[in-house]
Amino acid sequence: MRLDRFLSEMGVGTRREIREWCRRGTVTVNGITVRQAETAVSPETDAVCVDGTPIIYAAQEYYMLNKPAGVVTAVTDAREKTVLDLLPTPRRKDLFPVGRLDKDTEGLLLITNDGPLCQSLLSPRHHVEKTYFARIRGRVTPEHVEQFRLGFNIGDGKLTQPAGLVILRAGEESEVQVTITEGRYHQVKRMFAAFGYRVLYLKRLSMGPLQLDPDLAVGAYRKCTPEEISDLKQHSGSSKSF
């Protein structure tokens, strides 16, 4: 792998910046100053440093983000702040969010550059469960729980897949936990809108085996642990509890 590609993929800098650093003599490989950005390096065995700081190569990266409201789930946006803007800079250029959360929705979002994992988690064939906490304007009843279990039309002529609905608090404003296996547009909001109810607050708690870290502040992120990454890669669907 070329040295400039190695460093740019790790988000250290642009290729233009890397070439300048090499000319200045601030980049070393195995303790030797390297002045040619096109120098070949082995990511697995060579020790690459910039200004004396070791740069460890990772082919794939996985971040857990506790998405805040007011931020769009996108790689770039000309007008809005994106979820990638919440990650450190400089950062690698091939990161993307897995799926999407609405601008006003909070909670768990996985950000990675692992395309096959993304496809597996989002594929309708795998029925990966996504669980949300929601605050609803309207009284949620056991009859609604049964409707969620059976599936119903949310306005497009197609029944929803069986979903889980747990009532945490019932009243003029109800609090519930919702588990779905689809990713239809505004799905949770549309499910309650079908009963004339409005979602006041929505937060994703889990996606497949990945659970939102309760210690992760809104707007904060951390790298996924090796155990979390392993669980995600091994996950090929869930046994539904509804």
Q: Which residues have a catalytic role annotated? A: 102
β-pairing verdict for 32-33 and 27-29? antiparallel
Query: Tokens at residue 58, please?
Result: 């990772």
Query: Tokens at residue 139, please?
Result: 């009284």
Three-state secondary structure call for residue 134: strand
Three-state secondary structure call for residue 54: strand
With a CB cutoff of 8 Å and minimum separation 6, the contacts of 187 are 154, 160, 180
Report the C-alpha gap between 27 and 49 in whole angstroms.
Answer: 6
Residues 236, 128: contact at Cβ < 8 Å? no
Query: Tokens at residue 190, please?
Result: 């549309």
